[in-house]
Structure 1
């Protein structure tokens, strides 16, 4: 079994049994939508603050070690969530989760790309990346669907605890994969300054950061509160968890498929397609299923193309750091947006809030496409 297959297995073991009812669990503990929005926002902002330091550590010490540490930190996160009795407990679980994500992002993709590049197979990276994300989503699909049924029969708390064996199994598989070898020889601060200079001297990097942040921000308003969106008119843990499972299945298929013939079109017009789908979800509750399906597919295809462009222009010794810089900007953008969403949906309702939020994204999309028509090299 080669190392790519082991990455595939580890990704498939990303089975989080509570992902389909997480917000409902928080709601059962008495948290308001504002508090939920705050927790999600805090998690994203903490990840943002930790991204660059953890990325530099990965480039200077080991990307593999960073990924393994990420898996280890998931253990206390799950345990505290299981034992929680208060908002403070959930806050602690959120902190562990944020550290886990920070050590993973940038390091994982950089580790994979370096191993592939050793064999001169960088052209295979988009396909490998897509397969990894696809199998991760497939594991999430199984976990979400199973978790919903388990929660109805044994309760949400015990279902949360049953996530731990999958976290440990994924960690053990990753241990067997060859480590990365390229290291930055610069000091921490010098490495950071050189990475910043690289971004400043590369307009393409800045453009790619902007692109990924905007298409991500036009998806977050629906996906971040999707469970509560559907729970409002489909009042069943099993049903909502099944919808979440369906979402992960669509996600898995979307990452797995390669639309070579249309990838350029999807990448170019995701700016406007995604906010249009966001508006449809706010216009009619049943159209939320259309947004769930098409929005997931378009985002996955556009982001795979983005990954190919991004990884192809970043040096090996800066890959985790620059990947973390992107994650930092995405975490800040999504964190601030999610905090605002919690407040907006509390005061205006989810559907009306989605329809209103879609409008500025649509305007931005139209203006961007018009700009790209005059500067095609930027696309």
Structure 2
């Protein structure tokens, strides 16, 4: 199996069996919707604060080492989540898991792109990136279906504990992949300043930062709370887990299938309108929640694959993880604020009405962007 296949296998076997009912698990610990929203937002803010330091480390030391450390940090994070009995316990687990995510973002894609570029296969990156996300989603389908049955047959805590060995297995597989070789020879501070100047002086990078969030944030406002959305309609952990599994299955297919550059570009252009239109419909009628997951996943996957190809082509190898971390910092800050706002708004007016209000705002922003020629 070549290194691309090992990336795929590692993503497939990184199973977190509690993902399909995570928010319900937090509720079972006595957390309120406000505390849950705060944790989601705090997690993203923590990742944002840690993104750039971990990205610089990946560019100066090793992207491979950064990814492996990310996998290993999930072990104490998951064990702490298993042992948690209160908001404080979940908060500490969130700190570890946020650090793990920070070490992963930017480094994984940068590592993969560099290996492909070294072999003259960089033109394959959008497709391979989509397949990587597809295998990740396939693993999400397995974990959601299996996790629901495990929680029903035993309990939710056991499903959390069972996730630990799979994090280790995923790390062991990636340990066999060739290491990246591009290194920044500049000092930490100089490398950081050079990367900042690169972003500041590149209008294309700045446009891509903004555009990715216009297509991603409307769906985030829905999917971050979708377990509670569906649980309000169907009060069953198993059924909510199945819905999550269905979402990951459709998402995996969306990432795996490539529509070709021409159609992908059309979807990329109009996603700022298409995606908030779907979430608006989900807010109007609960029966449209699952179709929103299906088509929202389809449109976002195709648009983001096109975005990834454009993004990676603009970045030098020795700055790839750092600039990827700048993007993640930008996105995590916006997403963290949005989730905190959404949690507050949903608590005040309900998820349905709150989703309608947020969708209208994003639809107005997206319409203005989609009508521009240079995107």
TM range (shorter): over 0.9
Task: Please give the alpha-carbon distance, in whole angstroms, between the structure 1 residues aligned to 2:136 and 2:368.
Answer: 35
Aligned to 2:338: 337
Q: TM-score, normalised by structure 1?
A: 0.98
1:52 corresponds in structure 2 to 52
Post-superposition CA distance 1:86-127 (Å, at most 9, x none): 111000000000000000000000000000000111000011
Measure the CA separation in 1 of the matches of 2:77 and 2:214: 30
Q: Distance in 2 between matches of 1:245 and 1:283?
A: 23
Note the C-alpha offset of 1:366: 1.4
Q: Please report how far the alpha carbon of residue 369 of structure 1 lies from its aligned counterpart in structure 2 after TM superposition.
A: 2.2
How many angstroms does 1:324 deviate by?
A: 0.4
Equivalent residue for 1:366?
367
Q: Does 1:182 align with 2:182?
A: yes
Aligned pair 1:212/2:196, yes or no?
no
Aligned pairs (5 A) from 1:138-149: 138-149=138-149
- The aligned counterpart of 1:73 is 73
* CA deviation string 1:313-336 (max 9, x = no partner): 100000000000000000000000
SS in 2 for 1:44: helix
**How many Å separate the matches in 2 of 1:282 and 1:237?**
22
Structure 1 gaps, min length 5? none
1: CA distance between counterparts of 2:52 and 2:170? 25
Tell me the CA shift for residue 58 of structure 1: 0.2
Q: Does 1:132 align with 2:132?
A: yes
Q: Which residue of 2 aligns with 1:349?
A: 350
Is the CA contact (8 Å cut-off) linking 2:40 and 2:339 kept in structure 1?
yes
Q: Measure how far apart 1:180 and its partner are.
A: 0.4
Aligned: 1:90 with 2:55 = no
Instruction: Determine the structure 1 residue equivalent to 2:251.
Output: 251
Instruction: Determine helix, strand or coil for the equivalent of 1:120.
Output: coil
1:73 Cα offset (Å): 0.3
CA distance in 2, matches of 1:186, 1:257: 40
Matched, 1:197 2:197: yes
Cα distance between partner residues in 2 of 1:40 and 1:246? 22
CA distance in 2, matches of 1:75, 1:369: 43
Partners of 1:366 and 1:343 in 2: how far apart?
Answer: 26
Residues 1:292 and 2:318 aligned together: no
Whether the 8 Å contact between 2:14 and 2:169 is mirrored in structure 1 is: no
Cα displacement (A) at 1:217: 1.0
Q: Distance in 2 between matches of 1:122 and 1:182?
A: 15
Deviation at 1:16, TM superposition (A): 1.0
Tell me the distance in 2 between the aligned counterparts of 1:345 and 1:362.
19
Residue aligning to 1:317? 318
**In the TM superposition, what is the alpha-carbon distance from 1:368 to its structure 2 partner?**
1.2
Q: 1:219, 1:327 → 2: CA distance?
A: 17
Shift of 1:203: 0.2
Conserved 8 A contact 2:67-2:104: yes
Q: Deviations over 1:298-352 (max 9, x none)?
A: 0111000000000011000000000000000000000000011111111111011
CA distance in 2, matches of 1:289, 1:46: 30
Deviation at 1:218, TM superposition (A): 1.0
Matched, 1:268 2:269: yes
| Structure 2: stretches of 5+ with no match in the other structure | none
Q: Report the secondary structure of 1:31's partner residue.
A: coil
- Provide TM-score, normalisation by structure 2: 0.99
Question: Which whole-Å CA distance do the structure 2 matches of 1:77 and 1:242 have between them?
Answer: 25
Alignment-derived partner of residue 171 in structure 1: 171
* Rounded Cα–Cα distance in structure 1 between residues aligned with 2:17 and 2:350: 28
Match of residue 29 from structure 1: 29
